[in-house]
Amino acid sequence: MTDLAFLDATAQAELVRAGDATPAELVDAAISRIEAVNPQLNAVIHPLFERAQAAVDAGLPDGPFRGVPIVVKDWDGMLAGAPFHGGNKLLKSIGFNAPSTAFLFQRLEAAGFVIVGKTNTPEFGFQPTTEPEAYGPAHNPWDTTRGTGGSSGGSAAAVAAGLVPVGHAGDGGGSIRIPASACGLFGLKPTRGRISLGPDDSEAWANMVVRHVVTRTVRDSAKVLELLAGPMPGDYSTTAPPTGPYSADVGADPGKLRIGLRTRAPGDLAEVDPVCAAAAEETGRRLEALGHTVVVDPGPAALDEPTLLDSFIVVLAAEATAGLELLATVAGREITEADVEPLTWSYAQLGKVLTAAQHVTAVGALQSWARRTMSWWFDGGFDLLLTPTMAEPPPVLGDLAYDPEQPGREGARATPFACFTLPFNVTGQPAVSVPLTWSASGLPIGSQLVAMTGREDLLIRVAAQLEAAHPWAGRIPPVHA
């Protein structure tokens, strides 16, 4: 049988349809790869091998990805009967299993995907690196001393190393794009409301959280988005349906676009490493070679307003406080400082002293800021904004760890990794990280493209153009299946 490790999901599904492989063969091969390689990565923390094989034996839906193995993140959605710990040591210690299944996972399984495991994530998704106390760090397959990004870092490591072709991911401040950049993958954050958060979430982080996948190819991401798009009844946020199938946008002409290039961090919140700025600039030159106009531009003026981060922290603190109350309900007792990590505890303590009025004011300020930001796409006549995905290359493991002698350092140290991505969770716009560049030391360096709300089709068309001109899926990390 064909070596499956670095075939994308589309190619694996084609093998099944052609009769050249069976779902059982695809799933068993993925299990073997996980067993062989995961000890070096700590990407898959909850193997679901028996569940996967039972699903195959019971007969899979005749969907477009019938038999293709996938991993799902241990956060951003429940899977009934499977562990749901969110990187938290208390949930791990009590062995908490999910009581329900997210609408997103129902759709993935209806499409024929087979879930073979759940992946590592930072506690409650609060960090742009995947190093939870509960499970230990996920290791980057390009350099195992480096982080995988977060909070979907386990999924990204698993896909990058060839354990599976697709990994579920969620993004509240960059958690699809950051790990995609860190691990050399394609990561598309959809428009707010494009994919349902139900049934357990109506909105999350003041409606900044969205969910999708990380992949090696644009066509996989486009097809999965096509399958996942659309609301479930009662969704808090929805968006206009696409004008056509996203899979048809792969290879379609995007037209000649006007693209603004910004390499300075929003609000000068971080110093941008020259390698990250250079990667965005190189992406700009490649876009120009494809016929687009790239203009060095500061981008939306609102990006440099000083209040965005303050308002975001208010929302995050409120979410942490509410999260600990839910954790107390599950545990059946009051939560103590020993039950969570220091960053989570500090956010929750801040949330306890904030007033309801402060939260409402912060959410209103974020919404107002989003309107000012999005006006750039209209007033300036731009189609896309191009930036680095992160202001620094993937960090050395431990660099964002809690230091009792420097309280709050781990939160501040996270800023360079999310400063370019977070703004577009606030606006709800779709954005992608494309893996076009590697550093001299062999680390992936992603570039971010941002479109107007609802224009995932444009991002897919441009990303597919770049992928065709500068293929990346054939680049294999040192640690791989």
155 is a catalytic site residue: no
At 129 the pLDDT is 98
Q: Return the closest-CA partner of residue 388 out of 342, 437, 425.
A: 437
**E strand residue ranges, 112-257:** 114-119, 166-171, 186-189, 210-215
237 is a catalytic site residue: no
The low-confidence residues of the chain, meaning pLDDT below 70, are 1
Q: Per the structure block, which two tokens stand in for 135?
A: 């499970």
pTM of the model: 0.98
Domains and CATH numbers, the chain: 9-469 (3.90.1300.10)
151 is a catalytic site residue: yes
CA atoms 69, 74, 77, 79: torsion sign:
positive
Is the distance from CB of 202 to CB of 147 less than 8 angstroms?
no
At 1 the pLDDT is 61
Per-residue model confidence as pLDDT tens digits over 81-136: 999 999 999 999 999 999 999 999 999 999 999 999 999 999 999 999 999 999 99
At 392 the pLDDT is 98
Distance, CA of 238 to CA of 228 (rounded, Å) = 13
At 252 the pLDDT is 98
**E strand residue ranges, 32-120:** 44-47, 69-73, 114-119
Which of 73, 118, 189, 223 is catalytic? The answer is 73
At 307 the pLDDT is 85
Which of 152, 155, 175, 433 is catalytic? The answer is 175
Which of 92, 118, 151, 181 is catalytic? The answer is 151
